[in-house]
């Protein structure tokens, strides 16, 4: 670099060094003004860490700013940047993105590192908060990810030397290794003995003996020792020697052989791994790759699903000795020679900083390739982890937020077609027309090419092509096979899609228990669709027992991950009190959120809220517009509800022919409500000629789909012989079935059957109870007949006042029988003071609706006056 590194001995020189690196594009610079919602999340003796949103988006970064910049910290910061760039291509290492700067009170520019934000905090806090919910599959996954991350460091010739559960982070329930080489350098330089004691349980005890000759230097086997302690901590959920002072006495005890006790019910092969790791003799400890192999054996045996497990390739062994370690890279020379730096913080050899600078420059091409790998992996993760259907605009927005230049990415993908991830991503770009014209044929070919190379993303997307018939014939069996293949490779979307196939019998036999298990596996990998569908299984009892509370919790979790289906179903839970208390305002908000994300069901239900004033004011015009919007998106419920608006003039003029056409369209899409309403049109000649046989057939079809209205109306057909022969027993059975589904008309008619002995024995008490139940649901016939029961003492005691109140309630709802009965009560003074004028008023209301008995009574009263 142009700046002489030997002169970097204060913060100004450090700033110039960074600015030079930025100008040469060795380090990416982020504008500080682009960060918002900055909140402190941690601090130590040398740095403060903040969480911040970037460009007013959901994207979060961590900003690490340094306290008391001095000679020692300058060297350590430069060293961290160089080391971080070597290994942050690994999924389980916190990523370094660049730097940003802010102006402090004294007009001094302060640089901060921009790094990946870990939303679950430290491993220690994660275990404390979540341990009760972790099973052994979860513990194996955390252990494997941790060990594999350390192996990545060792492969690059880096020794961490400071592994403990407060600098191992967790993001989206996955391990993220951080602070390798930095925190230890600065903390030891500051001569903070209390900090050093804080690390004692994790530190290689060989280093406690300061009188040893030659002096024992921390090495790769020291990291293995720390791994052993961390594996025990993952199995126990608590820090080692919790409640014991981390002092010299503990250090001596550990040096003399003190170790933590295995937790009961810990698998024996897991205990063997961590006890081997914390062996006092470094030569008797396994290498990090041997630890990986032993964990892999457990994972394969226990059928543990780890996302993209196939990508964790076997590492090559690196020969080393525990003490007389021969360095194999400039980085390892730095690791071992830095002991003099630790012993005497006043002596700083800045030639090492020059080595780092030289290494950054000379390895720039390799690092650019690593940077591109990171970008590609991030884009793939954006596709894979998104809980909504991604279109071209969503991708372009993502690129804009990430400062990704589209043409550069396309060119690099085209020029690197030996890498299966690049092949897959180019296929995705062709599929969606990102930076190029849409070419689904090319996309299919690229997915096929990626599949041939064993790429899980390509395999899953090729399965989608066969599922939907994208540039190939629909072949559900082939789709199933490809989803199975992707699932076997640990691909979360493949596992989810496989579960969907088993749930609905796509390319295989229906196996709802298997579907449930696969959704559980996908959910364990953090897949939002898997979490949502797992909730649906608990909601409907698919492959498991119904558990509405669990369903609600899973919908909430899926919604928090941005799953639009989760948001919609969460709204449904709040509307109907499923697994939670009824909260109509919350339901409205969630439907609106789902609608704003383009979810057609959310749009439909938002329209329903406006139609009925649920969580908002009634706005029938708005309801109509939303139903229209959902219908334009092909949503069958939206089409049905739009038809209902045209039938009844809700937010638009009545157009019964249009209503009939829309019901027909919804019915063609298999919508049960559409089929039922179409049957109703044929029964009553709404927008078409009366055809009672057709009505019966459609009610039968809707009933077969479990539609409660269809079942009730099918019973009605059997009761009155509409489109079929009269069968009162069959009618009773269907009313019973509709009642069991909570259908108010079904409940009322079932009560009538018990009242009159239709298709069953007379049971007046049962009839009363059912009328009460129908009345509670607002059914006008139920309210009327309940009043009749109180008037005449049917299934209950006579209560004329109660009868009057119920007739009044049903009459206000427009029920003609209730209006007649209410008039009678006023005429005779039963349950109310006699009032002939009001009797005449209600007889007229009933007569206006065509009730002849009311007209007859009206005529009689007028003659008497």
Binding site residue list: 64
Task: Name the token pair of 818.
Answer: 């209730």
SS3 content of the chain, % helix, strand, coil (to 5): 60, 5, 30
Q: How is residue 122 annotated by DSSP? A: B
Structure tokens at 423: 């092949």
- How would you write 252-280 as a 3-class SS string? HHHHCCCCCCCCCCCCHHHHHHHHHHCCC
Three-state DSSP class for residue 655: coil
Tell me which residue has tokens 């019915």.
667
Q: Which residues are annotated as a binding site for ATP?
A: 64
Q: Judging by DSSP bridges, how do beta strands 60-66 and 174-177 pair with one another?
A: unpaired
**Are the beta carbons of 238 and 305 closer than 8 angstroms?**
no
Distance (Å, whole) CA 426 – CA 413: 6
Cα→Cα distances 480→45, 69, 454, 797, Å: 55, 58, 16, 63
Cα–Cα–Cα angle for 614, 617, 620, rounded to 5 degrees: 90
Asked whether the beta carbons of 218 and 161 are under 8 A apart, the reply is yes
According to DSSP, the β-strands at 47-54 and 96-103 are: unpaired
Determine the Cα–Cα distance for residues 621 and 640; give it in Å rounded to an integer.
16
Structure tokens at 529: 């669709």
Nearest residue to 120 (alpha-carbon basis) of 65, 51, 57, 58: 51
Q: What is the DSSP string of 824-840?
A: HHHHHTSSS---HHHHH
Give the tokens for residue 63: 């900003």
Query: Residue 149 is encoded by which pair of tokens?
Result: 């991350």
Furthest-apart CA atoms within the chain: distance in Å: 126
Exposure class string for 185-224: b at 16+ Cβ within 10 A, else e: bbbbbbeeeebbbebbbbbbbbbbeeeeeeebbbbbbbbb
CA angle 575, 578, 583 (to 5 degrees): 35
- Burial of 288-300, coded b for 16+ CB within 10 Å and e otherwise, reads bbebbebbbebbe
Contacts of 143 (CB under 8 A, 6+ apart): 231, 234, 270, 295
Burial of 241 (0-12, 13-18, 19+ CB in 10 A): middle
Structure tokens at 824: 């009678």
Rounded distance between C-alpha atoms, residue 730 and residue 727, angstroms: 5
Tell me whether strands 29-30 and 96-103 are parallel, antiparallel or unpaired: parallel
Residues 6+ apart with CB under 8 A from 613: none
| Residue 175 CA, distance from chain mean position | 18
Angle at 782 between CA 777 and CA 784, to 5 degrees: 130
Burial class (CB in 10 A: 0-12, 13-18, 19+), 418: exposed
Quickly list H helices, 433-455.
440-452
At how many degrees (to 10) do helices 564-576 and 600-612 cross?
A: 30
Residue 821 DSSP class? H
| Continuous segment of H or E residues that includes residue 186 | helix 182-189
Classify each residue of 610-622 as buried b or exposed e, where b means 16 or more C-beta atoms within 10 Å of its C-beta.
bbeebbbeebbeb
């Amino acid at each position: 670099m142009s700046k002489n590194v030997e002169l970097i001995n204060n913060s100004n020189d450090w700033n110039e060094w960074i600015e030079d690196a930025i100008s040469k594009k060795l380090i990416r610079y982020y504008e500080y003004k682009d960060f918002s919602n900055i909140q402190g999340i941690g601090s130590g003796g040398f740095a403060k860490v903040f969480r911040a949103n970037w460009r007013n988006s959901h994207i979060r970064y961590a900003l690490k700013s340094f306290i008391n910049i001095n000679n020692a910290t300058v060297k350590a910061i430069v060293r961290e940047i160089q080391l971080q760039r070597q290994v942050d291509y690994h999924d389980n290492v916190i990523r370094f993105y660049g730097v940003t700067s802010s102006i402090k009170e004294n007009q001094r520019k302060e640089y901060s590192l921009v790094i990946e934000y870990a939303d679950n905090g430290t491993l220690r806090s994660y275990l404390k908060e979540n341990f009760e919910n972790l099973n052994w599959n979860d513990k194996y996954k955390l252990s494997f990810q941790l060990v594999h991350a350390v192996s990545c460091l060792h492969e690059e010739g880096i020794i961490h030397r400071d592994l403990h559960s407060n600098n191992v982070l967790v993001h989206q329930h996955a391990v993220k290794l951080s602070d390798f080489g930095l925190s230890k350098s600065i903390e030891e330089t500051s001569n903070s003995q209390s900090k050093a004691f804080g690390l004692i349980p994790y530190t290689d005890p060989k280093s406690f003996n300061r009188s040893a000759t030659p002096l024992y230097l921390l090495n790769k086997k020291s990291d293995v020792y720390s791994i052993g302690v961390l594996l025990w901590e993952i199995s126990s959920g608590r820090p080692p020697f919790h409640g014991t002072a981390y002092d010299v006495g503990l250090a001596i005890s550990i040096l003399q052989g003190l170790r933590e006790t295995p937790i009961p019910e810990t698998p024996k092969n897991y205990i063997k791994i961590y006890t081997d790791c914390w062996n006092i003799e470094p030569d008797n400890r396994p290498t990090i790759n041997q630890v990986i192999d032993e964990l892999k054996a457990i994972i394969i045996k226990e059928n543990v699903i780890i996302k993209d497990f196939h990508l964790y390739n076997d590492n090559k062994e690196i020969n080393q000795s525990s003490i007389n370690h021969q360095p194999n890279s400039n980085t390892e020379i730095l690791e071992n020679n830095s002991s003099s730096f630790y012993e005497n913080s006043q002596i700083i050899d800045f030639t090492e900083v020059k080595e780092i600078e030289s290494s950054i420059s000379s390895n720039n091409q390799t690092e650019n390739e690593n940077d591109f790998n990171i970008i590609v992996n991030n884009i793939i993760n954006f596709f894979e982890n998104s809980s909504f259907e991604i279109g071209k605009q969503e991708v372009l927005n993502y690129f804009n937020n990430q400062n990704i230049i589209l043409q550069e990415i396309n060119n690099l993908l085209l020029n690197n077609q030996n890498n299966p991830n690049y092949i897959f991503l180019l296929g995705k770009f062709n599929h969606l027309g990102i930076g190029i014209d849409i070419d689904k044929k090319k996309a299919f070919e690229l997915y096929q090419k990626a599949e041939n190379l064993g790429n899980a993303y390509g395999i899953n997307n090729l399965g989608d092509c066969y599922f939907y018939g994208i540039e190939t014939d629909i072949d559900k069996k082939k789709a199933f096979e490809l989803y199975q293949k992707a699932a076997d490779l640990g691909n979360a979307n493949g596992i989810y899609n496989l579960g969907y196939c088993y749930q609905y019998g796509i390319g295989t036999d229906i196996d709802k228990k298997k579907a449930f298990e696969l959704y559980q596996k996908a959910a364990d990998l953090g897949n939002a669709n898997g979490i949502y569908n797992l909730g649906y299984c608990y909601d409907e009892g698919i492959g498991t027992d119904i558990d509405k509370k669990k369903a609600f919790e899973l919908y909430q979790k899926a919604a928090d991950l941005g799953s639009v289906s989760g948001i919609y179903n969460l709204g449904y839970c709040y509307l109907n009190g499923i697994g939670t208390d009824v909260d109509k305002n919350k339901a409205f908000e969630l439907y609106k959120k789902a609608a704003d994300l383009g979810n057609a069901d959310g749009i439909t239900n938002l329209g329903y809220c406006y139609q009925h004033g649920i969580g908002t004011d009634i706005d029938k015009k708005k309801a109509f517009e939303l139903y229209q919007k959902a219908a334009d998106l092909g949503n069958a419920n939206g089409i049905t509800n739009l038809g209902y608006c045209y039938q009844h003039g809700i937010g638009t003029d009545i157009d019964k022919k249009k209503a009939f056409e829309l019901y027909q369209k919804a019915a063609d899409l298999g919508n049960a409500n559409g089929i039922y309403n179409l049957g109703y049109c044929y029964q009553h000649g709404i927008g078409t000629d009366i055809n009672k046989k057709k009505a019966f057939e459609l009610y039968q079809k809707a009933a077969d789909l479990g539609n409660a209205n269809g079942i009730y109306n099918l019973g009605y057909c059997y009761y009155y012989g509409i489109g079929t022969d009269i069968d009162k027993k069959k009618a009773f059975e269907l009313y019973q079935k509709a009642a069991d589904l909570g259908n108010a008309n079904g409940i009322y008619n079932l009560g009538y059957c018990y009242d009159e002995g239709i298709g069953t024995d007379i049971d007046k008490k049962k009839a009363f109870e059912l009328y009460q139940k129908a009345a509670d649901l607002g059914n006008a016939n139920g309210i009327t007949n309940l009043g009749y029961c109180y008037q005449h003492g049917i299934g209950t005691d006579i209560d004329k006042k109660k009868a009057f109140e119920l007739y009044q309630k049903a009459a206000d709802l427009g029920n003609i029988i209730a209006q007649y009965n209410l008039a009678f009560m006023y005429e005779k003074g039963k349950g109310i003071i006699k009032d002939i004028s009001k009797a005449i008023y209600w007889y007229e209301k009933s007569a206006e609706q065509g009730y002849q008995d009311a007209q007859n009574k009206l005529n009689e009263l007028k003659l008497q006056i």
